[in-house]
Amino acid sequence: MAPVISLELVRRRAEHNEGLIHTLEEISLHQEEIERINDVLGKNCRHLKILYLQNNIINKMENLHHLKELEYLNLALNNITIIEGLGSCEMLNKLDLTVNFIDLDKLQESIEHLASCPNLKDLYMMGNPAQANWEGFAAYVTGILSQLERLDGREITRSMRITAQQQLPALKAEYQAQKLEQTAEETTPHTPEVRTQIYRELAEQKREKDERQRENLPKERDFEQEHKAATEKARQRELEGVVRQCNEGKLDFFFDEQSFHGHLLLDIAVPRYLDSSLIDVDVHPHYISVVIKGKVLRLQLPVEVLAGSSKAQRSKTTGHLVIYMPKVNSRDTVGIARPIQRGRHQTTDNRTQPNTSKKTGKTLVSLADMMMVAAQQEVSAEKYVSEDRAPRCDFEMVD
């Protein structure tokens, strides 16, 4: 699809005007492989004074009648074959048509059309076939356009204008002869159609390059959607298959049954600034399943707990997630205590020493590692389906 002048393109090129297009006075739309001037500018940018459209493949001057305040129009390096559509541009002062395809067959109509622009002072037509192939071109244009002050960057003096007007009848006759002679000549391979095809190929290459660059850009991740999908997958596997212990997020955690009488506590070192909406807790009588930012932490519980009475809290200071699970039998104990940070000069005894996390430097109970090793045994899902399933825990933030 050929590029067109769209509102999106205009807004992108109107950054110097804070993206406001209705008050825009100057815009540059060069090198966009545009093939035609549609009505977007005329409807939305009626206060334009300077319009750059050079180096495109525009073949017709159209939809410019609403731009009554236009002072400078640059259509260099396009496929224009005839000058038209400027009758309403009363303020037009400068027109650049360098290197287009205005030939002798359309020169008379083009120059006579410019006579309706009383404020036109500066005209550029260098590189057009009519200018390149006829020596009388400059005098012909000067003689017809009496308001013109500069042609192709050269100032028109009073003597040059008088001479051109005196030679105008002879120049018109010479023009007609040149026009007939050119018609009989063989056409050149450099045509608007060939140039259009070349630019379309360039536009396609540019589009493919932009697509490759977009594909290489880092994709925006929807963490909430990923977390939701991971949670649904984990819960479905727990219902249908075998429940296995895992710690996909490599999070530090420990159990504690002494800090809160009759309860089993699970402390998980959740990152401090992780949004709580990315945490899902599901407590069962014999195991607990926590999904944290799409990563599953599933652990067997050393004692049976009351899933329906469990609650979870999040520390505002550390971000840790602490889950309080009442024991079915408050007398059940497995000798789990909160890990104690030992000083450097404190002597150690023969009791089992807790592990030290490489990530946080905190001391953790080795029971976690022991339980992960024991996780190789499969716990049948039927065991838990037969029990009453409690709703998942909602957790609150605490200081």
Q: Does 267 score more than 80 pLDDT?
A: yes
Mean pLDDT of 48-73: 94
pLDDT at 208 over 60: yes
pLDDT score recorded for residue 347: 40
The DSSP symbol for 203 reads: H
| pLDDT for residue 58 | 94
- 317 has pLDDT over 80: yes
Percent residues over pLDDT 70 in the chain: 81
The structure's pTM equals: 0.55
pLDDT(144) > 70: yes
Where are the CATH 3.80.10.10 domain residues in the chain? 7-214
CATH number for the segment(s) 226-339+353-398? 2.60.40.790
CATH 3.30.450.40 is held by the domain 7-214: no
Q: Where in the chain is the domain with CATH 2.60.40.790?
A: 226-339+353-398
16-30, 183-197, 234-248, 359-373, range with greatest mean pLDDT: 16-30
Contact 299, 321 (CB under 8 A): no
DSSP string, 86-117: -TT-TT--EEE--S----HHHHHHHHHHHTT-
Task: Answer yes or no: are the C-beta atoms of 322 and 267 closer than 8 Å.
Answer: yes
**How is 277-293 classified by DSSP, letter by letter?**
GGEEEEE-SSEEEEEET
Report whether 35 contacts 9 (CB < 8 A). no
Residue 395 confidence (pLDDT): 56
Token pair listed for 143: 């003689």
